[in-house]
Structure 1
Amino acid sequence: MSGETQNISAMAEKISSDLFKWFKWELVGPTNENFPCMKKDQHKTLAGTHPTDVVFSYKDPYLNRTIFLNTDLKSYIKGSITATKMRNALVSLANSIDCAQGCKEWKERYSYKNGASEVRGMLFVYNHDGDFDQSFYDVFYQSHNTETDKKKRGINLDNIPVRAGQKIHIIEPRTINYLQSIICDLSQLSHKREFPLGKKYQFFYPDLSLHKVSGSPEELPATVELLTGPFLIIKHNDVRHCNEETSQWETTFKHGYIIYYNGEGKNELEFIYILDTLSKYQLLDGNENIRIRIVNPNIHKDVRSIFMRAKDSYCQEWGFDEHKKTIIDAIDFQQVEFTKPRFSSVEIGWERQA
């Protein structure tokens, strides 16, 4: 097994166990495999194959179908990605999912289910030098250096060959660190007996006008759309602990909801929107513990004061009585430390050709 292959396989396993298992995704099939290209003249692959580093799957609660994420793993150091590298990666991934849906070998390898299933692409880009890169998406835009008068071309997404109905998701360093920060925070809350151990939590999905939630609430995963959205809501049961001295089970924290928000919290409207959403979902009835936890590398220095003003403004706007104000005031608000995960220590994936 080559060093590159070992690195990819190790990174895939670590991502699965340390990150996506918390969000109830499943790693399916082998890692770091190629499959035959079904459109060689159109895709013009050098080896006549497409790469698959790892495939994740989950059941989408709104679409009521299994989503297979044909994933390309990339690891890099800050500033090393060029527009050409990124474009090549996206083109390769687009061609891969174009063939995967109709490839018998791919379907057999990854237990693809006909009917209520869908293959998407996912580009997972990890910043392995630990220097969090907040300018990841700069590579997509054309830039001009005024000192040298040189232009750097960006990426025209219209030229990426994603066919109608197909999707590519990008999980980049900012999102990876956000998700890892949530996991670390939940682990700490569990240690303090303020969040249940095991699987006694679920991701909250309200029924929508055009989409109803399907599946058992306890088994619902966090979809890629939820993970990359502005916030996610986690519902949890009572937190119970066995007292070693009395051998009796005790409730250490009541059931409720945790809202993880990935904004900066620099104006009241951000929090008014969250409060309004919680009210619309009927979560502000006073029967549940509500905790809002903000996760962002650039949290505004006055975020707590801004949140307090947002609560006051929201209550005044809707003319709430004292009972409703008490419920709003009881919402716990905390900042979460932004962490840097360690999935790989070397650069991988950028020079590989299918």
Structure 2
Amino acid sequence: MGETAAIARIAEIISDQIFSEFLWTKVGPVNVNFRCEKQEIHIAQTHPTDVVFFYDEPYEDVTTYVQCDLKSYAAGSIGRSQVEKALVSLSNQVSCAEVSAEWQDLYVHKHKEFAISGLLFIYNHDGGYDRTFNETLEKLKFNDLDIPVNGKLVVLGPTEIHWLNNVSQEIVRMRGRAGADRLPDRKDCSFFYPQTVRRAQLRGQQRCAATLEMLTGPWIFYNTMQMLAGKLVSLSFTDLQVIL
């Protein structure tokens, strides 16, 4: 049991390291259960919550809460059935969280519009996964998903997590450098969202987190909020999966 708990804890540690650099904030208790609001549909009494993060949307006056299901698997355990089972569980968690007063009392800030999304975080703890995760996703069956009304479900596989971890660690390294290449402290940095004709960036000079859409898109734009520095750092990556 001790070894199993330690392996599960790895995914929690890695997710903390990654998402703190993307300016997500952890909220509420970790590793707790909340009452299922759709017991006849979900055939469950409760749902688990591993951890919840939140960030403010840059183009909407909405706070997004990310219900995370953190998995730490050996390479040989990452297959269609495991991922499919985890995704069904996550969709049920988010669907219930949207209507659960218990969940919202634990995690949601009052008197502000919010949305809840789900993140399935599949970390390969032994480093042996060398397959294309897309192939696993393409084999999944979605007939049993209780699709959230207002949120989305996102899957990050081993390759995607490895890349995001590299990006977050590069930000840390750049912050520790000397001279002109040094990034300022985290509180003086933000992720960049341009003003567009159709969408106004609502946060102004406030710090913006990297949204799920940015983290699963082709580019991450990271810049300092110190105008004299005038520094814009762009980090690109591909092949991340938003499946719903």
In the other structure, the counterpart of 1:92 is 89
Q: Please point out which of 124, 145, 158 is paired with 2:121.
A: 124
> Could you say if the C-alpha distance between residues 237 and 55 of structure 1 is closer, same or farther in structure 2, counting changes exceeding 3 Å?
closer
1:214 is paired with a residue of what secondary structure?
Answer: coil
In the other structure, the counterpart of 1:202 is 190
Q: Please point out which of 259, 262, 269 is paired with 2:234.
A: 259
Provide structure 2 residue ranges, at least 5 long, that are not aligned to the other structure.
240-244
Deviation at 1:6, TM superposition (A): 6.0
| Aligned AA (1:12) | E
| Aligned AA (2:201) | V
RMSD (CA atoms)? 2.5
1:51 is paired with a residue of what secondary structure?
Answer: strand
Instruction: Work out whether 1:160 is the aligned partner of 2:135.
Output: no
Deviation at 1:171, TM superposition (A): 1.9
Work out the CA distance in 2 between the residues paired with 1:158 and 1:114: 35
Work out the CA distance in 1 between the residues paired with 2:42 and 2:182: 49
In the other structure, the counterpart of 1:145 is none
In the other structure, the counterpart of 2:24 is 25
Work out the CA distance in 2 between the residues paired with 1:62 and 1:183: 23
2:217 is paired with a residue of what secondary structure?
Answer: coil
> Could you say if the C-alpha distance between residues 101 and 9 of structure 1 is closer, same or farther in structure 2, counting changes exceeding 3 Å?
farther
2:190 is paired with a residue of what secondary structure?
Answer: strand
Instruction: Work out whether 1:219 is the aligned partner of 2:207.
Output: yes
Work out the CA distance in 2 between the residues paired with 1:162 and 1:133: 30
| Aligned AA (1:171) | L
Deviation string, structure 1 residues 258-280 (Cα, Å, up to 9, x no partner): 1111259xxxxxxxxxxxxxxxx
Q: Would you say the 8 A contact 2:11–2:123 is kept in 1?
A: no
Deviation string, structure 1 residues 61-107 (Cα, Å, up to 9, x no partner): 11221111111001112242222221111111111111112212111
Deviation at 1:137, TM superposition (A): 2.4
Q: Would you say the 8 A contact 1:33–1:53 is kept in 2?
A: yes
1:30 is paired with a residue of what secondary structure?
Answer: coil
> Could you say if the C-alpha distance between residues 27 and 4 of structure 1 is closer, same or farther in structure 2, counting changes exceeding 3 Å?
farther
Once structures 1 and 2 are overlaid, which stretch shifts more, 78-87 or 27-36?
78-87
Deviation string, structure 1 residues 185-226 (Cα, Å, up to 9, x no partner): 223323333132312221110123332111243421110111
In the other structure, the counterpart of 1:52 is 49
Q: Would you say the 8 A contact 2:115–2:150 is kept in 1?
A: no
2:75 is paired with a residue of what secondary structure?
Answer: coil
Work out the CA distance in 2 between the residues paired with 1:169 and 1:15: 14
Q: Please point out which of 54, 59, 71 is paired with 2:68.
A: 71
Work out the CA distance in 2 between the residues paired with 1:184 and 1:59: 23
Work out the CA distance in 2 between the residues paired with 1:128 and 1:218: 36
> Could you say if the C-alpha distance between residues 134 and 236 of structure 1 is closer, same or farther in structure 2, counting changes exceeding 3 Å?
farther
Work out the CA distance in 2 between the residues paired with 1:65 and 1:15: 23
In the other structure, the counterpart of 2:242 is none
Instruction: Work out whether 1:177 is the aligned partner of 2:176.
Output: no
Deviation at 1:166, TM superposition (A): 3.0
- Percent identity over the alignment is 30
Work out the CA distance in 2 between the residues paired with 1:178 and 1:35: 32
In the other structure, the counterpart of 2:58 is 61
Deviation at 1:29, TM superposition (A): 0.8
In the other structure, the counterpart of 2:218 is 230
TM-score (norm 2): 0.86
| Aligned AA (1:196) | L
Once structures 1 and 2 are overlaid, which stretch shifts more, 107-116 or 205-214?
107-116
Deviation at 1:123, TM superposition (A): 0.4
